[in-house]
Structures are given as C-alpha cells and as structure tokens.
C-alpha cells in the first residue's frame, strides 16, 4: 500500500499524488463510496496501485483508507486546509461584510487560519478607501488590499499562500481566478464572464482540485457562491467563533452572558474599542438566526 494525497476529484475518480510526485487515477473502495464526504480533495490516503493504463503519466489504483483529517471545509469539500482566504471585491460586486463574518464563523469552527483579501482597489476612490479602513478598525483578522489590475498587494498575497494549503473562497466575480493567475500565470485559470456562465447552476458538479504553487504549497480555486449553509451552532456557543468576543470570556457581569441584552456586558462596553461595531451587529444577527432555528 502507498501513501498519497488526493489532489483532484471528478466524476467518481480521484487523482492521488504519491510522495514522489507521481499521479494515480484511483477509484474509491466500496465503503468510501457510500458517503460523499468520506473521500475528498486534500485527504491523505493509503492506496493500492493497480495496473498502468495506456496514458504513461498516470496509473490506476484503489483508495483503501483515509487518514485522519486536521480540518475539513464543507463547501467546496476540501480536507487538511491550513488557510482560508476570504476574497471579496470592494466594488462590482460590492463587498458583503456579513457574508465575510459567516465565513469566519465557519472557519473558526474548523480551526482554520483566516485572512481577508479585499480586491479591486483600483475601483474605489481615496475617500472610499479611508472610509473602509475606519469601518474595519479594529478587525480580528488580517486584511490584505489587492488589485489584479494594478498588481497592488499581489506579492503580499503570494507570500501568504506560500507553503500552505489554502482555499480561496468568495462570491463569483470578485477576482479569485484573476488573482491566482497574477500570482502564477501558468495556472491559466478561466476568468470573467465565461467562467461565470459555465459556473452558474453547475457549482455542485464542477471538479475541485489542489493547484500546486511554485514556491511550495497548494491552492484551491472555488467557483464561488452567493449563499452559505450556516453551521448548526447553539446560540450560546456562537461567541466561541468570534475571537474578539471569545477573548472577553469571563469578564461580563453574568458568567453566562450572551452579550445581547444583559447588563454589565463587557462586550458592549468594548464596542468601538477592541470590538468592531459592525462585527458585533453580525454577532447579534446570527444569534437571532440561530435562536429562531433552535426554537423549531
């Protein structure tokens, strides 16, 4: 049995790369086929190589066992991710800050490191830029400003991706593929209207693959989404997934403070200081959403 990593999943076939960089196109063993999440891109696996197929560069094989995962992204399904890069454009389409917070909650739940990348800086004025930097004062995650047009911040983003297994996530049209092409032109990813047309309605059937980066590491370009399945979290647990609120744990008047309407709530006292008011709005919004969900 050989060890390898699943770098691509498409149509029931899994491309597994062994330690020597050789690729095998594998099927999954019976038990792994029954559950969709049982074998996904990024999984470290044990597999049995079979007979070579006519294509010299690839061999057949069967994936026998999936090794334990350090993390697991639900959509797109990717295992063992180190870094989630949430990409939004500042204009066309507009930045959706609440969606960013939804994604960071998901990331916190999976223990992923998060950075936020705000793209298309070339489309906003100096005044808009200043308003924006005020809006995210303070912000609990690193924020990178980029433009695939002027190349602002592109090298900085590249440095962050180097040596990591990253997923680039965000709505379609924000510039994920364009940014990756700037970082590594050889990837030649489809961008713009073409990919949007193909992508629409076909998100679930599109393949997911780990793209190797020249400087080490790999990246998953996602087709984008407009909505996100929010994880099932008890409302009282939501604060665990807001690091800026979590770090104030134990300081409120009530030990079980939900930071909603309780008196002597330190989170409320910290608004505009260590807690960003916009992020707190998102916290309240999600809290109510989860509260309603739980009532059913």
Q: Token digits for 45? A: 């696996």
Q: Which stretch binds Mg ion (CB under 5 A): 33-41, 50-58, 86-94, 177-185?
A: 177-185
Of 17-25, 168-176, 245-253, 275-283, the window that binds Mg ion (rule: CB under 5 A) is 168-176
Q: From CA 92, how far away is CA 229, in angstroms rounded?
A: 24
Helices (H), the chain: 30-33, 97-109, 126-135, 154-161, 176-183, 192-199, 243-246, 266-269, 277-295
At its nearest, how many Å lie between ligand GDP and the CB of residue 146? Answer: 7
**Residue 190 to residue 211: CA distance in whole angstroms:** 14
Count Cβ atoms below 10 Å from residue 289 Cβ, excluding itself.
Answer: 14
- Minimum CB separation from Mg ion for residue 233, in Å? 29
- Choice between 190 and 237, CB closer to ligand GDP: 190
Q: Binding string to ligand GDP for residues 170 to 209, with x set by CB under 6 A, is what?
A: --xxxxxxx------------xx--x--------------
Q: Does 276 bind ligand GDP (CB under 6 A)?
A: no
The least distance separating ligand GDP from the CB of residue 215, rounded to whole angstroms, comes to 21
Angle, helices 154-161 vs 176-183, to 10°: value is 80
**Interior/surface letters 90-119, b for 16+ CB within 10 angstroms, e for the rest:** beeeebbbebbbbbbbbbbbbebbbbbbbb
177 binds Mg ion (CB under 5 A): yes
- Residue among 43 and 221 whose Cβ is closer to ligand GDP: 221
Cβ atoms 119, 202 nearer than 8 A: no
CA–CA gap between residue 100 and residue 104 (Å, rounded): 6
Stretch that binds ligand GDP, among 50-58, 107-115, 141-149, 202-210 (CB under 6 A): 141-149
Question: What is the spatial distance between Cα 37 and Cα 35, in angstroms, rounded to a whole number?
Answer: 6
Kindly tell me which residue out of 5, 120, 259, 282 binds ligand GDP, with binding defined by CB under 6 A: 120
Q: Among residues 208, 180, 177, 182, which one has the least CA distance to residue 194?
A: 177
120 binds, among Zn ion, ligand GDP, Mg ion, none (CB under 5 to 8 A by kind): ligand GDP
Site string for ligand GDP, 68-107 (x = CB under 6 A): ----------------------------------------
DSSP conformation class of 110: T
Closest distance of CB 253 from Zn ion, Å: 7
Residue 110 dihedral angles phi and psi, to the nearest 5°: -95, 10
Closer Cβ to Zn ion, 144 or 265, answer by number:
265
In the bound state with Zn ion, the residue whose beta carbon lies nearer, of 130 and 288, is 288
Footprint of ligand GDP on this chain (CB under 6 A)? 119-120, 122-123, 147-149, 172-178, 191-192, 195, 224
């Amino acid at each position: 049995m050989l060890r390898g990593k699943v770098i691509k999943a498409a149509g029931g076939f899994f491309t597994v790369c062994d330690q020597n960089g050789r690729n095998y196109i594998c099927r999954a063993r019976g038990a792994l086929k029954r559950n969709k999440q049982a074998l996904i891109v990024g999984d470290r696996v044990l597999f049995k190589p079979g007979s070579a197929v006519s294509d010299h560069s690839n061999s057949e094989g069967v994936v026998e066992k999936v090794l334990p995962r350090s993390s697991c992204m639900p959509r797109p399904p990717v295992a063992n991710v180190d870094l989630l890069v949430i990409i939004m454009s500042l204009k066309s389409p507009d930045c959706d800050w609440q969606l960013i917070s939804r994604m960071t909650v998901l990331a916190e739940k999976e223990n992923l490191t998060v950075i936020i990348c705000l793209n298309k800086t070339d489309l906003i004025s100096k005044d808009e830029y200043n308003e924006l930097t005020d809006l995210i004062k303070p912000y609990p995650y690193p924020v990178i400003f980029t433009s695939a047009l002027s190349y602002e911040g592109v090298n900085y983003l590249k440095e962050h991706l180097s040596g990591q297994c990253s997923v680039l996530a965000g709505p379609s049209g924000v510039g994920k593929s364009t940014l990756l092409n700037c970082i590594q032109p050889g990837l030649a990813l489809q961008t713009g209207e073409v990919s949007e047309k193909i992508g629409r309605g076909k998100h679930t059937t599109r393949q997911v693959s780990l793209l190797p980066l020249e400087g080490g590491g790999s990246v998953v370009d996602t087709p984008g989404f407009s909505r996100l399945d929010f994880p099932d979290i008890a409302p009282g647990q939501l604060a665990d997934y807001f690091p800026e609120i979590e770090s104030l744990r134990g300081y409120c008047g009530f030990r079980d403070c939900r930071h909603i309407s309780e008196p002597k709530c330190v989170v409320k006292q910290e608004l505009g200081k260590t807690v960003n008011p916009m992020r707190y709005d998102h916290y309240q919004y999600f809290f109510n959403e989860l509260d309603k969900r739980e009532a059913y």
